[in-house]
Amino acid sequence: MNRQQQFEQLSTEFDLKPADFYFLPLIPLIEMMWLDGENRPGELKILYQFVLEHIAYMDQAAGTQVLSVEDANDFLDRFAHQKPSQKLLTELHNIVTQEEGVIAHRKMDILEYCLDISAACVIQYPYGIRDRVQKNEKEFLIKLIAEFNISE
């Protein structure tokens, strides 16, 4: 199945909008945020910052406005303010981490934001010297580094 067919299938199954696919680079951040089952204010603040930078990046790359504030708010309502299905997140994650899923220089930005989200909220204090980032978050980060083929 080619990428276009994947998009069409996901659009039909999950009622995705065309603008949603411009927000694919946010998927790893959203996955990181939801790993503990909650969207905490500190995590959302970091996600919102990435959204603003992403919109500016997309507009600059295209030389015109590609995404509106309404597009972003709609996407955030469905992905950040309500937990999306794991199947949808997995399908979108697979698209993002494919070779052509995200431009190479954006991969490091995504990874850095994921690190920030993972460190944004500690569930219980005090924590051990290596417990600032939860085990499942560390595992996700290691997987993402491998999928993005980041070696620097």
**What percent of the chain stands above pLDDT 70?**
89
The residues, ordered by sequence, that sit 6+ positions from 32 with a Cβ below 8 Å of its Cβ are: 43, 114, 117, 118, 137, 140, 141
CA distance 132 to 85: 27
123-127 long-range contacts, CB within 8 A, separation 24+: 123/36
Mean pLDDT across the chain: 88
Query: Which pair of tokens denotes residue 96?
Result: 């993002």
- Name the one residue in this structure whose structure tokens are 């295209």: 62
pLDDT tens-digit map of 41-100: 999 999 999 999 999 999 998 999 999 999 999 999 999 999 999 999 999 999 888 866
Residue with tokens 């997309």: 58
Residue 83 sits at the vertex; the CA angle it makes with 30 and 110, to the nearest 5 degrees, is 5
